[in-house]
Amino acid sequence: MKKTGPICIVDDDDGHAYLIELNLRQSGVTNELLRFASGQEFLDYLEEDPSGGDAPVMVLLDLNMPGMGGLAVLQVVKDSRIRRTYPIVVLSTSADTDEINACYRAGCNLFLTKPVQYAEFTDLVQRLGALLKVAHFPSGAATTGLAAAG
């Protein structure tokens, strides 16, 4: 079944975004990958097109961003009645306990630390891609858009 929902990557670091996209593709994810360089950009996108297109099947959210940080974005999304079902995976460079707790309190669905070692990084993102292929997601606003690509 062809899944149409995009995967949103919210990360100010172009390199990280690139590497994530690269590894997701390599893991076989075929969904549209939308990249946002700031939290505000992502929220603007949600505002402009709340229901026109398919809802994101997953949001990969970086925490440490200039301007609007990841936690703020997380709170806005999870406070919204319509969008709180969007699965949000926080990807952070740190593994600070306080940060982890704050994110889960705000409603994040998964917290992952970006490994510095590229092999681990690749492994993590590809595992995430593999998870996406077998996971179930909320219906309705969030139309799952995963393509099982082998």
One of 87, 88, 114, 129 touching another protein (CB under 8 A): 114
Selection from 18, 113, 126 nearest residue 62 by Cα: 113
DSSP, collapsed to helix, strand or coil, labels residue 111 as strand
Nearer to another protein, 65 or 141 (CB): 65
Q: Is 96 in the site for another protein (CB under 8 A)?
A: yes
Nearer to another protein, 79 or 96 (CB): 96
DSSP, collapsed to helix, strand or coil, labels residue 129 as helix
Binding string to another protein for residues 33 to 72, with x set by CB under 8 A, is what? ------------------------------xx--------
- Rounded-to-integer distance, Cα 89 and Cα 29, Å: 16
Nearer to another protein, 46 or 74 (CB): 74
Ordered alpha helix ranges (H), 12-115: 14-26, 39-48, 70-79, 97-106
One of 37, 121, 143, 147 touching another protein (CB under 8 A): 121
Q: Is 134 in the site for another protein (CB under 8 A)?
A: no
Stretch in the footprint of another protein (CB under 8 A) among 1-9, 41-49, 80-88, 94-102:
94-102
Phi, psi of 59 (to 5 degrees): -115, 125
Q: Nearest-5° angle of CA 49, CA 147, CA 78?
A: 40
Nearer to another protein, 61 or 141 (CB): 61
